[in-house]
Amino acid sequence: MPFPSNWLDSLFARLSVRYGAAWMRQWDGVDIAAVKADWAEELSGFETRPEAIRHAIQHLPIDRPPTVGQFVALCRSAPVMAPPALPSPKLSDEMKSRIGSKLRDLRAKLTGAA
């Protein structure tokens, strides 16, 4: 899945605000569409991890705009959050009894005590 172009436009706008003219100056003489295409290719895969993009934005270098490689490295350094675990299912006393009975039957078959 390609990196969404609206996300990339938003990212470039944010970096323009953060770094001012220094952001655009690094692309002098280069077609901005080609620059964005390169960034979209390098960021491909992170569309499923928006928290990684957020992490990168929160950890941008203070003194200079990042290259695409530096930005991707920041994305990769984002902690991976484990999804919340579901609670264990509740078993009724009847279900516990049936499971216990099946286990006893299986144990008896395995030990030859049947």
Predicted confidence (pLDDT) at residue 1 exceeds the cutoff of 80: no
For residues 32, 34, 40, 43, the Cα torsion angle rounded to the nearest 10 degrees is: -90
Tens of pLDDT along 39-71?
Answer: 999 999 999 999 999 999 999 999 999 999 999
For the chain, percent of residues with pLDDT exceeding 70: 97
What is the C-alpha to C-alpha distance for residues 4 and 53, in angstroms, rounded to an integer? 12
Predicted confidence (pLDDT) at residue 114 exceeds the cutoff of 60: no
Residue 2 confidence class, pLDDT cut points 50, 70, 90: confident
Predicted confidence (pLDDT) at residue 111 exceeds the cutoff of 90: no
* pLDDT value, residue 42: 96
Q: Which phi and psi angles does 24 have, rounded to 5°?
A: -75, -30
Q: What's this model's pTM, rounded to 2 decimal places?
A: 0.70
Distances (CA, A) of 108 to 16, 88, 101, 111, 114: 73, 28, 11, 5, 5
Helix (H, G, I), strand (E, B), or coil: what is residue 113? Answer: coil
Mean pLDDT of 87-91: 86
Residue 85 confidence class, pLDDT cut points 50, 70, 90: confident
